């Protein structure tokens, strides 16, 4: 989809697993900047269907507000959408796009070494079970009071998405889990269904998720939903080349504030990390930063990661 399209919404969708670190805050600002620069609203979603740390949601919302980010609607809490997620599962099932998976993690790890399997992708073990083998596994699981996971099975083996920074990107479609064996909805389904519900047509997030985009776009297509435009931005790394985390010291807003580093300095650090020139480097408030991050400026963003040296 060409970047001249206007309308819809972008979003920032953190998981409430702790305080937001500098990399998260950087992505939050960029999500806001890309949405506003392309004439979209910017929305917030709390993706709490997996691991949640008590109090994290409230702290993250407070930190985004302290940073100066304001959203165009109240945040959507993902666990309030469970009924819609299960309806989507039934839609995929009725269209023949799901299969039962009886594999354990060990089964998958042992089979995933096969040369035809893309790294990190499901090796297809249960996809090729005969009816007799399926019947045996169903009976065994029923006796044990267990149920299989449900995985995606669409005709497309590859899918091409459009990314504002990376252009057309084609990648394999994985047989991802859609419903876990404990009955819980999996992230890859929930994120697609909720983006469509919120009218999100621009997904800005870290470029470690670029390889997941073809599968998520294929899920949207299978459900009859519109595919979003993507903006996969470079990650923030530590000096060892690993993703920034709390192990790297004072990387969250509360920790930095305890050291006497206030919001304007944090915003300025993030502005300078974008490597987009003196006008951006000088910004010390989110308001000023969003004003200078127009579409043409954002398109000049380097694709290499930001390596933080611990200095403000």
Domains annotated for the chain, with CATH where assigned, are: 9-80+196-213+226-307 (3.40.50.620), 83-179 (3.90.800.10)
CA distance 177 to 165: 28
Query: What is the model's pLDDT at position 52?
Result: 84
Cβ(48)–Cβ(184) below 8 Å = no
pLDDT, block means (10 residues), the chain with 312 residues: 62 95 96 97 96 91 97 97 98 98 87 72 92 94 95 96 98 97 96 98 97 98 97 94 81 93 97 97 97 97 93 84
Cβ(303)–Cβ(234) below 8 Å = yes
Question: Angle at the Cα of 67 (from 267 to 236), degrees rounded to 5?
Answer: 55
* CA-wise closest residue to 60 among 26, 11, 15, 23: 15
* CA-wise closest residue to 304 among 203, 233, 211, 213: 233
Q: How many angstroms from the chain centroid is the CA of residue 177? A: 16
Q: Which whole-number Å values give the CA distances from 16 to 62, 78, 180, 181, 205, in the listed order?
A: 12, 11, 20, 23, 16
Question: How is residue 85 written in tokens?
Answer: 């997620």
CA distance 303 to 97: 35
CA distance 23 to 190: 23
Query: What is the model's pLDDT at position 214?
Result: 98
- Length of the chain equals 312
Query: What is the model's pLDDT at position 6?
Result: 58
Query: What is the model's pLDDT at position 4?
Result: 43
Query: What is the model's pLDDT at position 276?
Result: 97
Query: What is the model's pLDDT at position 1?
Result: 37
Query: What is the model's pLDDT at position 114?
Result: 61
User: Which pTM does this prediction carry?
Assistant: 0.93
């Amino acid at each position: 989809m060409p970047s001249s399209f206007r309308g819809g919404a972008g979003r920032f969708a953190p998981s409430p697993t702790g305080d937001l670190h500098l990399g998260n805050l950087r992505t939050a600002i960029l999500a806001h900047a890309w949405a506003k620069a392309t004439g979209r609203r910017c929305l917030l979603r709390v993706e709490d269907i997996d691991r949640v740390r008590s109090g994290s949601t409230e702290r993250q919302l407070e930190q985004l507000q302290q940073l100066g980010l304001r959203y165009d609607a109240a945040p959507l809490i993902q666990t309030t959408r469970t009924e819609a997620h299960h309806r989507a599962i039934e839609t995929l099932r009725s269209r023949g796009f799901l299969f039962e998976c009886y594999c354990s993690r060990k089964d998958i790890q042992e089979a995933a070494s096969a040369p035809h399997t893309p790294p990190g992708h499901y090796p297809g073990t249960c996809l090729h079970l005969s009816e007799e083998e399926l019947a045996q596994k169903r009976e065994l699981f029923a006796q044990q009071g267990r149920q299989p996971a449900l995985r995606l099975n669409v005709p497309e083996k590859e899918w091409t998405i459009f990314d504002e920074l990376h252009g057309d990107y084609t990648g394999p479609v994985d047989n991802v889990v859609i419903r876990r064996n404990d009955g819980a909805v999996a992230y890859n389904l929930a994120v697609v269904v909720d983006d469509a519900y919120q009218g999100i047509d621009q997904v800005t997030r870290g470029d470690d998720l670029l390889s997941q985009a073809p599968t998520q776009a294929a899920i949207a297509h299978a459900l009859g939903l519109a595919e979003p435009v993507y903006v996969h931005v470079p990650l923030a790394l530590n000096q060892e080349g690993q993703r920034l985390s709390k192990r790297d010291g004072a990387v969250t807003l509360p920790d930095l504030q305890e050291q006497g580093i206030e919001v304007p300095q944090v915003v300025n650090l993030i502005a300078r990390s974008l490597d987009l020139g003196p006008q951006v480097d000088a910004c010390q408030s989110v308001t000023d930063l969003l004003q200078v991050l127009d579409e043409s400026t954002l398109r000049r963003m380097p694709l290499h990661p930001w390596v933080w040296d611990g200095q403000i």
